[in-house]
Chain A
Amino acid sequence: MRWLSVKQNYFEDLTIAIYPSNLLHNFGVNGKISGSVYACGEMEGVIPIVHGPIGCGYHYRFSARRRHYPYFNLISSELTEEDIIYGGEDKLYSTIIDTYERYNPKLILIIPSPISDIINDDIEVVAKRAREKGINVISIKSELFSHRDKNYVRKRMAEVSKQKFGKGKNIDFDIMGCGYTEALYAMVDNVMVEQKPIQKSVNIETIGWGKHGKLVIGEVEGFLAKAGITINSHFPSTSYENIVTLPKTSLNIVRRLRWAKKMKEKFGTPYLQINTTGRYSGLDGICNFYMDVGKELDIALEMEELVDEEWRNAKVQVENDREEIKRHKVLVITRNLRSLPYLIKKYVLDYGVNISCCAAVLTDQSRKNLNIDDNILDNLLNRVKDSLNIYAPNIEFALNPDDDKLLLMSKNCDAIMGTDDFYYEKFGIPVINPIHEDISLSFESYIRTVKRIRDKLENIKNKPDLILNYFDFDRNNYLILDDKNIKSSREMWNRMWLNRKDG
């Protein structure tokens, strides 16, 4: 029953949203342990041991990243003061033995903590000792001391800004020290075994598929099957046994890079890194994705035929919807200047949106946090102009308009799109939350989204009585309240981490 599955996917989104990750990240980031625990939690038959004091083992049972089921089965070596002084290796060894006897897992994965890193316990020697007893145990190597690389987003912003709109290739996506990639890397390095690759077979990395991710992965797999492509395995969301034979594939479709590079180096497995911006954005992006898979698997011609057919089919299916969408004038507002050129393209080209005006909000604080100097800003604005020239020429674009200006811009519009900032409901026209746009890498997601946009434009109403709008939110950061302590905690975080030269 299709309607049922779609409803369940909105529910899946809700369970993710209910975990207040976005709010928490205004005031901190989690330690590297969380990423490793998350990765491990996706693997069936694998149990993690955090080599650290009891508090780490306690709170990482929750504050890792699996939002839909937040109770991780996590073991701790419970380091005490004596272990800090004399070394925690014996404690770790006894924890491994105890874990093996209690849970009999297929694999034990040891996750280092900043504490075990400082006291310099030789975790690998302990793991080897346990392996000699017949216990399958491996360890993760720390890439960074405590937490992820904070400059990643800035570097990416600077790189993207240099690219002309529509040109340039996808920029690698990988964050050092987040713990997740380290865990996957350890699996490649220690668990996977050389296999004869099966032709036209792929592995799919399961993280970061965004809204309705589970549904979209299924749809992508359905299309790949039409091209005779089989799924060898998901990763890391699979069993220990499947991870061992992951090299049986002829292509890894990946989100994070380093583990894929390691697999290429060790087993010769090629990889294709994907995301849903840039080259893989919108309907063209879906076609690009399948064409790239086809090229990698040496079936470019067959794939082109299939993609062409599906593309035409999708166009026919949304033809009427696009016509209806065009009848509505839309004000586009966004805080994401980097993605705005592709947002414009997607709205006009893919959905048929009639953009009447366009506004971008870039606060001074965001500029500082993202390290956007005048040069980068010029480049970003030029990309927006280039996109507007192609897809929505002659419309008004404003950077950081005040409320009066926005009110004026919204005057002849039927709706606001591009933002989930409920504040704009005050302008008297409905805001269509991007929650309804789940266009991803499946043709089905494209069709679904266009139909939803039509439905929303025809039926959605302005919400002047929104309870949220009775609270004062910080207009610099609409995720937090305009409260002195809350804003101070945010600014503390900016100063002590984000904008600090070291650390």
Chain B
Amino acid sequence: MKCHDSCRLFGAYQAISGIKDNVVLLHSVVGCNFGTMGFHLTRDMSDMRQSCTVVSDKNIIFNGESSLREAIDNAIELYDPKSITIISGCVSSIIGDDIAGVLSCYKHILQIYYIEGAGFKGKLEGGYEDALLELAKNLVFKEDKFNNPCINLLGLNYDDFKLEEDIEEIKRILGNKVEIICVTADCTIEEFSNMGKAHLNIVFKRGRKLAEFLKSNNGIEYLEMDYPYGIKGANDLLDAVGNFFDIDFEAEKNIMMTQTLKRMKKAYGYLQSFYGLPICIFGQEGRAIGLKRFLEEELGMDVVCLGINEEGFVMEDFIEKVYESDAALVFGSSFEGDIADRLEIPLIRYHYPVFDRISISDTPYLGGRGAVNIVEDILHYVVDGRKNKGALYNEEDLCLR
């Protein structure tokens, strides 16, 4: 079938690659390195901390442990990293490399972690969950709690579209009332270890195993929620955090509402055209459901096709449904470009992987400001669409008029 999902290796990479003082070493063939790198470097060309042991045909015969040793030695010499995370791929798993044995020789030199990422052993979400858990099990969490209300954010991915802007936006709307200790997708090893100092974990429908681990080992409660798109999404986040810590966020909520509406008002005529508009959404649970709520409840669109990337989902069936629908917009990853192109309608990219758009401006998709940016992007995509679906006359020579 057409793949809507990736393997454990990609999930593990997603979970770990955001730890800034860590080097990711893929013990695998070149394609796994190029594939993960392709989704990463198209988002941020200035941060490159990964390499590959380049498992070769000789490794198949004689095993790949010597390549792994060589690569670790090189990585220590070149990067001088605080830690290295080895993610193994299918081939090393099949040939039965004793990775733990190799790594035991390095434990006294630096922090070195190992995550089994063989693609045939599971899918992306499993790799993501297990990688965070594995890392947590190997760290000593600092438990002395901060005095101020502190939270961690779980469920984000270093290569998420708009990651940094969205994190900044959460910080902005929380103001100085709540501090964020660690965002697993964008932190250092020390910040990860400091997670134990927080009082609450906010879990955007991913990182549940880590949240459970921190609850049972460190007594940190967690709240699971959809990604906070729109005014309501942000309000829900503020309410959840506010209720937990007994903090009043009404002022922040009012400011966000006022500021967002002030901007939205400038486009009220356009907003009217969204009302009742059929659209389709594809994505991972927390993201897609959060976006659906925003688009339906706040912008008034009708989600006629919703594809959630979960067990049993068949991409082809979803595509058929979209083709049969009257959807005017597709929301998804870059991969849904083929659906949008076939229907000659715009694709609004919001979900990993986004490899054909960049975001280097301060334009989050989350919260009230995000709502404004999403509206702006939708309008621009529509206006820039070159193809006139159902046009009544031929516009090929339009520029000659």
Known: A115-B91, A145-B57. A55 touches B355 (CB 8 A): no
In the complex, what's the smallest C-beta–C-beta distance from B22 to chain A, in angstroms?
A: 11
Contacts of A80 in B (CB 8 A): 120-121
Tell whether A55 pairs with B119 under 8 Å between CB atoms, given A98-B1, A146-B29.
Answer: yes
Q: Which residue of A lies closest to B317 (CB)?
A: A102
Please state if A503 and B42 are interface contacts (CB–CB under 8 Å). Answer: no
What per-residue 1/0 map shows which CB atoms of B203-222 lie under 8 Å from chain A?
00000000000000000000
- Which residues on B sit within 8 Å (CB–CB) of A486? 46, 48
With A62-B353, A75-B1, A491-B78 in contact, do A24 and B34 touch (Cβ < 8 Å)? yes
Report if A30 contacts B (CB, 8 A). Answer: yes
Q: Which of B187-207 contact A (CB under 8 A)?
A: none
Q: Which residues of A contact B5 (CB under 8 A)?
A: 54, 58
Contact pattern, B 42-70, Cβ under 8 Å of A = 1, otherwise 0: 10011111111111111110000001001
B146 contacts chain A at the CB level, 8 A cutoff: no
Interface flags, B1-40, vs A, CB<8A=1, else 0: 1110111111000000000000100000111111111110
Chain A 359-402 near chain B by CB (<8 Å), digits 1 or 0: 00000000000000000000000000000000000000000000
Check if B49 sits within 8 Å of A489, measured CB to CB: yes
Shortest CB distance A414–B (Å): 33
Residues of chain B lying within 8 A (CB to CB) of residue A144: 57
Interface range on chain B: under 10, 10 to 19, 20 to 34, or 35 or more?
A: 35 or more
Do B54 and A500 touch across chains, with their CB atoms under 8 A apart? yes
Q: Is the CB of A28 within 8 A of B52?
A: yes
Across-interface contacts of B341 in A (CB, < 8 A): 71
Chain B residues whose C-beta falls within 8 Å of the C-beta of A489 in the assembled complex: 48-51
Q: Do residues A71 and B337 form an inter-chain contact, with CB atoms below 8 A?
A: yes
The answer to whether B29 and A147 touch across the interface, beta carbons within 8 angstroms, is yes
Q: Is the CB of B29 within 8 A of A114?
A: yes
- The distance from the CB of B215 to the nearest CB of chain A, in whole angstroms, is 30
Does chain B have a CB within 8 A of A405?
no
Residue of A nearest to B340 (CB): A71
Q: Which of B9, B70, B335 contacts A62 (CB 8 A)?
A: B335
| Interface 0/1 of A78-110, CB less than 8 Å to B | 111101100000000001001000100000000
Q: Which of A33, A54, A80, A83 has the most CB of B within 10 A?
A: A54
* Contact B38–A63 (Cβ < 8 Å): yes
Report how far A57 CA is from B118 CA in the complex, Å: 14
Task: Specify which of A54, A118, A147, A488 is in contact with B3 (CB 8 Å cutoff).
Answer: A54
Closest B residue by C-beta to A484: B79
- Chain B facing A: main interface SS: helix
Contact of B338 among A71, A147, A495, A500 (CB under 8 A): A71
Q: How far is the CA of A356 from the CA of B1 in the complex (A)?
A: 60
Question: Bound complex: CA of A488 vs CA of B75, how far in Å?
Answer: 8
A residues 454-503 near B (Cβ < 8 Å) are: 481, 483-486, 488-489, 491-493, 495-497, 500, 502-503
The closest CB in chain B to the CB of A30 belongs to B34
Task: Indicate whether A61 sits within 8 Å of B335 (C-beta atoms), given known contacts A76-B1, A486-B48.
Answer: yes
On chain A, the residues within 8 Å of B297 by CB distance are: none
Give Cα distance in the complex from A59 to B14, angstroms.
14
Q: Which A residues are in CB contact (< 8 Å) with B10?
A: 55, 58-59
Given known pairs A28-B52, A76-B3, A80-B120, the reply for A115 and B94 (CB within 8 Å) is yes
Task: Assess whether A56 is in contact with B74, with CB atoms less than 8 Å apart.
Answer: no
Q: B55 — which chain A residues lie within 8 A by C-beta?
A: 146
Kindly state whether residue B280 has any CB partner on chain A within 8 Å: no
A492 to B78 CA separation, bound complex (whole angstroms): 8
Partner of A58, one of B7, B23, B46, B60: B7
Q: Which of B6, B29, B39, B119 contacts A31 (CB 8 A)?
A: B29
Q: Nearest chain A CB to B120's CB is how many angstroms away?
A: 4
Known contacts A71-B335, A76-B2, A81-B121, then 16 further A-B pairs from the complex at CB < 8 Å, ordered by chain A residue: A24-B38, A31-B34, A53-B120, A55-B32, A59-B6, A59-B31, A63-B31, A70-B334, A75-B1, A80-B120, A485-B23, A486-B46, A486-B48, A495-B74, A503-B54, A503-B59
Q: Could you list 29 examples of A-B contacts with CB < 8 Å?
A: A24-B34, A27-B37, A28-B37, A28-B52, A30-B34, A30-B35, A31-B31, A33-B31, A56-B31, A59-B38, A70-B334, A71-B337, A73-B2, A114-B31, A114-B90, A114-B91, A115-B90, A483-B48, A485-B48, A485-B49, A488-B75, A488-B78, A489-B50, A492-B52, A493-B51, A496-B53, A502-B58, A503-B54, A503-B58
Binding site for A on B (CB under 8 A): 1-3, 5-10, 23, 29-39, 41-42, 45-60, 67, 70-71, 74-75, 78-79, 90-91, 94-95, 118-121, 123-124, 316, 334-335, 337-338, 341, 353, 355-356
Q: Ordered nearest first, which 4 A-B pairs have the shortest CB separation?
A: A31-B31, A55-B7, A59-B35, A503-B56
